[in-house]
Amino acid sequence: MLTSLALIIILVFVVWPDSRGRLESWLIRRLPRVHLVTFRAIEHYKADLHRRYPEHPDDRAA
């Protein structure tokens, strides 16, 4: 259940990026665990993208 809710929240950010501030503050108040899991997933996704497709070729990890 928690993973499904985290995925829905991530999709809302993709489709409706202006909602981040309001949704994030609501999540922190109402569902702090979901907030933690969701934003860890987002940070993991961003780190993976940066590792796979660095902005500069010299940034690529060995």
**Structure confidence at residue 55 as a pLDDT band (50, 70, 90):** confident
**Domain tally, the chain:** 1
Is the pTM of the predicted complex or chain greater than 0.75? no
What contacts 12, CB < 8 A, 6 or more positions away?
19, 23
pLDDT at 60 over 80: no
Both tokens of residue 44?
A: 């993991």
Q: Greater confidence, 11 or 2?
A: 11
Q: What is the pLDDT of residues 16-49, one digit of tens each?
A: 767 777 878 888 899 898 888 878 888 898 889 8
Cβ atoms of 45 and 17 within 8 Å: the answer is no
Q: Greater confidence, 46 or 56?
A: 46
Range of the domain at 52: 2-59
